[in-house]
Amino acid sequence: MDLENYWQENRKFVLTVAGGALVFLIAFLYVDSAFGDARRTAARRLGQVQNDLKEPRFNNNDKSLAERENEALLAATDTLKQAVAFEPRPEFTLRPNMGSENSQYMGRIARMQNELAVQASRARVVLPEGLDIEPLKTSDTTLIERHMQGLDLLSRLVALSIEAGVDRVVSCKIELDSGLSSRDGVGAIERTRVQVRLTSDPPAAGRFMALTQSDRFGKPLVVDTYDVQRAAGNRDEVKIDATFLVVRLHEVTEEEN
């Protein structure tokens, strides 16, 4: 090849390529001088981390410790579940071959109202008409079962208020967990709320609260809210607004989390 002729014919192209190469070299040297140390430090650090990841992080002792801690947490969870989960009494449980669920529910209401009315009359405690219990407008077994458990808790609260010596049970209300009618469901903890409003003298108010936290029914009743206020114009009377819970615990799958 005749280099002189090539140069004459392609001088512009050769100068362009050489100029580009020179610019690239200058840029490379600048970047390396400005950031080369940081890049090399980062590369060394990355290599160290990759080597560390190849080494086992935990040994058999660590595994055994984690298993023991997990067992302890499971035991503590079971204890908490037993402490808060509501255990209905047999008479407030739906039974097969004992008539329809609705008839069992209405029969339990009638017996409960009569029993508490007798107790209240003897203790001179005023109860609301029919304990403010309304007939159910459903044949859903699950909802009837939840209402039965609400009746059980209400029965306990009214009986304890009579025992405590309150003057009057002003009102009662059973409210199922809103999640039962929601697409999202109730989640891990289902709560049926039972609300009572009472009037009494201050000592009876204290006795009522103490009784709800005693072992009268096996374990303390679960309190949601409790408010005591002095009655207007009467320093010897207080008004109690209290909400207690029937708690049901459910297993929640990962898909529901």
More confident: 22 or 225: 225
| pTM over cut 0.95 | no
State the residue range of the domain holding 40. 3-82
Task: Please check whether residues 74 and 110 belong to one and the same domain.
Answer: no
Task: Please check whether residues 98 and 75 belong to one and the same domain.
Answer: no
Can you tell me the distance from the alpha carbon of 155 to that of 166, in angstroms, rounded to the nearest whole number? 15
Specify the length of the chain in residues: 257
224, 127 Cβ separation under 8 angstroms: no
Which residue, of 43, 63, 82, is where some domain finishes?
A: 82
Which residue, of 28, 63, 82, is where some domain finishes?
A: 82
Task: Please check whether residues 107 and 188 belong to one and the same domain.
Answer: yes
Task: Please check whether residues 137 and 230 belong to one and the same domain.
Answer: yes
Task: Please check whether residues 56 and 134 belong to one and the same domain.
Answer: no
Mean pLDDT of the chain: 83
Residue 65 has pLDDT above 90, yes or no: no
Share of the chain above pLDDT 70, in %: 78
- Range with the lowest mean pLDDT among 37-51, 86-100, 148-162, 223-237? 37-51
Q: Where are the alpha helices (DSSP H) in the chain?
A: 3-54, 60-84, 101-123, 141-164, 202-212
Which residue, of 22, 53, 82, is where some domain finishes?
A: 82
167, 204 Cβ separation under 8 angstroms: yes
Task: Please check whether residues 210 and 156 belong to one and the same domain.
Answer: yes
Amino acid letter, residue 150: G
Given this model, what pLDDT does residue 14 score?
56
CATH of the domain at 99: 3.30.70.60
| Structure confidence at residue 4 as a pLDDT band (50, 70, 90) | low
**By C-alpha distance, which of 138, 243, 256, 244 is closest to 186?**
256
For 186, the token pair is 């109730």
Task: Please check whether residues 133 and 216 belong to one and the same domain.
Answer: yes
Task: Please check whether residues 28 and 152 belong to one and the same domain.
Answer: no
pLDDT digits (tens, 9 = 90+) for 184-209: 787 888 899 999 999 999 999 999 99
Given this model, what pLDDT does residue 172 score?
96
More confident: 175 or 187: 175
| Structure confidence at residue 31 as a pLDDT band (50, 70, 90) | low
| Structure confidence at residue 138 as a pLDDT band (50, 70, 90) | confident
pLDDT digits (tens, 9 = 90+) for 149-161: 999 999 999 999 9
- Range with the lowest mean pLDDT among 2-16, 47-61, 156-170, 229-243? 2-16
How many Cα neighbours within 13 Å face the side chain of 87? 8
Give the residue-averaged pLDDT of 64-76: 79
Task: Please check whether residues 72 and 92 belong to one and the same domain.
Answer: no
Can you tell me the distance from the alpha carbon of 143 to that of 156, in angstroms, rounded to the nearest whole number? 20
Residue 166 has pLDDT above 50, yes or no: yes
Task: Please check whether residues 133 and 68 belong to one and the same domain.
Answer: no
More confident: 143 or 256: 143
Given this model, what pLDDT does residue 8 score?
60
Give the residue-averaged pLDDT of 173-177: 94
Given this model, what pLDDT does residue 257 score?
46
Q: How many domains does the chain have?
A: 2
Given this model, what pLDDT does residue 173 score?
96
Task: Please check whether residues 127 and 240 belong to one and the same domain.
Answer: yes
Task: Please check whether residues 166 and 153 belong to one and the same domain.
Answer: yes
Q: What Cα–Cα distance (Å) separates residue 41 from each residue in 27, 37, 46, 52, 53? A: 21, 6, 9, 17, 18
177, 140 Cβ separation under 8 angstroms: no
141-164 and 101-123 are packed helices; what angle lies between their axes, rounded to 10 degrees? 10
Given this model, what pLDDT does residue 233 score?
77
